[in-house]
Amino acid sequence: MRVDLKALAFAEGGYLLVKRALRQAGPDAAIVVTGTSPALAVDVRAWCRLEGHRFEWHTTTGIHGGRATIINGGADSSRWVGASWVGDDPDSCDSVAEHPPRTWGLAARGATIEAGTPEFDFHIVDKLDVWSDDAAGIYRQAIGAQWNPETAIPWSAAFAIADDIEDAVVQIMTFLIENETAALIVPSRFIAQMHPHFKEVMQVLAVQAADEARHIEVFTRRARLKRNALGLSTASGQASLKTLIDEPEFAIASFLLSVLGEGTFLSLLWFIERYAPDPVTAAVARLAAQDEARHVAFGLAHLGQHLTREPDFRPRLADAIRRRHDALRHTAGLNAEVFDALLLMAAGSWEHDALRGGYGRLHQLMRDMDDGRRKRLVRLGFPESEAAELSALHARNLM
């Protein structure tokens, strides 16, 4: 085989033609390279030494360049001996392995991976624990539904609001912000522990974390619209959220946070949207609720798939609710200020009839939250009676 580089310098792309010719020729085969570039002899000699090819140079007198014979040393092909395919099925980049080896590391599914890649310290390496076939669809939907806080919310809308009602809104926002912070930390922590072979799940959790970042932003902006200080944060509220952050197992954390906590928050956010005293509060609650619906959907999707394959996992989920309830038994539950703020907001004024109406709406909210939790538990295969018992044990902090 002959490669004529003519005036093309070896470094400016000539080497690529030589490399291709050697690959085509195969190990131990010889090729002849000619060219008129002045540095050709020096460049080819250095490159051959580096790549492990044998090399012989023939000078042509009177002109620049010359002719080289190169014998393929075979290092390039032997480098890929022992390489493996990243995935279960060599015909499909979409095949997800049940137990991807840690040595696949960061390599994309469908890539060929060189032997000797270092082992990464991923903790979550079992497909059963995280996977949902719906993840790719939920990710695409989430990306399409991203909204810009700057333009999606009528920040400069004029509204008149009584001082006490504004204080109530600020207290509710303060409560939401700390809950959103827990909802950001939990998925973020698991992203870092998960084998990236489960790419779609990693992507869903990343968008989920971005959603929560945005919720923190808009609730903070609403709280500070007319006030400099935020409301109260209680020890019991933080103790409740800490149990979510401390939960080491993905499936259990996801069950407690997404199915039960965010599920309960869906009702809360729609309640805030409905009884908001101003258009900004209504908008931030509505937009956050739409995002939360996806977070709940993913939790239900992967836990549903997990339970179909491993029904024995169901009692462990039930135990997690009971354990969390026991751990929080001696705490005060929902911040009284949050309850009072929700009541006053739903009442709209201090009039007796208004307060009675607000109280009735708040109790309807508690029933709606309970109904929602029970429905989701039944969807995951819990019998009605156990679903009712477990729903009643859900954290009084709501998340």
Instruction: Please say which residue, 202 or 347, places its beta carbon nearer to Fe ion.
Output: 202
Span from 50-58, 77-85, 221-229, 288-296 in contact with Fe ion (CB under 5 A): 288-296
222 near Fe ion, judged by CB under 5 A: no
The window from 35-43, 58-66, 174-182, 320-328 that contacts Fe ion (CB under 5 A) reads 174-182
- Tell me the HSE value of 208 on the side-chain side, using a 13 A CA sphere: 31
Question: Is 80 in contact with 106 (CB distance < 8 Å)?
Answer: no
Closest distance to Fe ion from the beta carbon of 326 (Å)? 25
Assess 212 for contact with Fe ion (CB under 5 A).
yes
Residue among 295 and 394 whose Cβ is closer to Fe ion:
295
> Should residue 214 be labelled a site residue for Fe ion when binding is judged by CB under 5 A?
no
User: Which of the residues 292 through 351 are near Fe ion (CB under 5 A)?
Assistant: 292, 295
Of the pair 86, 207, the CB lying nearest Fe ion is at 207
Q: Which residue's structure tokens are 């609730």? A: 219
Shortest distance (Å) from residue 212 CB to Fe ion: 5
Is the CB of 96 or the CB of 288 nearer to Fe ion? Answer: 288
- Between 217 and 389, CB nearer to Fe ion: 217
Is-contact 195 100, C-beta < 8 A? yes
Shortest reach from residue 178's CB to Fe ion, in Å: 11
CB 381 within 8 A of CB 311: yes
Nearest to 247 by CA among 237, 236, 257, 238: 257
**From residue 100, how far is each of 120, 309, 353, 374 by CA, in Å?**
11, 18, 62, 35
DSSP code, position 200: H
Taking the CA atoms of residue 37, residue 39, residue 40 and residue 45 in that order, the dihedral angle to the nearest 10 degrees is 180
Q: State in angstroms the smallest separation of the CB of 262 from Fe ion.
A: 5
The structure tokens 């870092």 sit at 192
List 129, 166, 167, 180, residue binding Fe ion (CB under 5 A): 180
- By CB under 5 A, name the one of 124, 135, 183, 346 that touches Fe ion: 183
Among residues 160, 247, 250, 151, the alpha carbon closest in space to that of 198 is found at: 250
CA torsion sign for 203, 207, 210, 212 is negative
Interface residue with Fe ion among 43, 134, 200, 262 (CB under 5 A) is 262
Do 264 and 373 form a contact (C-beta atoms < 8 A)? yes
Whose tokens are 């939360």? That residue is 292
Question: Rounded to the nearest whole angstrom, what is the least distance from the CB of residue 259 to Fe ion in the complex?
Answer: 11
The interface region with Fe ion, picked from 33-41, 89-97, 228-236, 287-295 by CB under 5 A, is: 287-295
**How many Å apart are CA 93 and CA 235, to the nearest integer?**
48
Nearer to Fe ion, 215 or 373 (CB): 215
Q: Which is nearer to Fe ion, 167 or 180 (CB)?
A: 180
- Of 207 and 377, the one with the shorter C-beta distance to Fe ion is 207
- Buried/exposed code over 156-193 (b: 16+ C-beta within 10 A; e: otherwise): eeeeeeeeebbbbbbbbbbbbbbbbbbbbbbbbbbbee
Sites of contact with Fe ion (CB under 5 A): 180, 183, 212, 215, 262, 292, 295
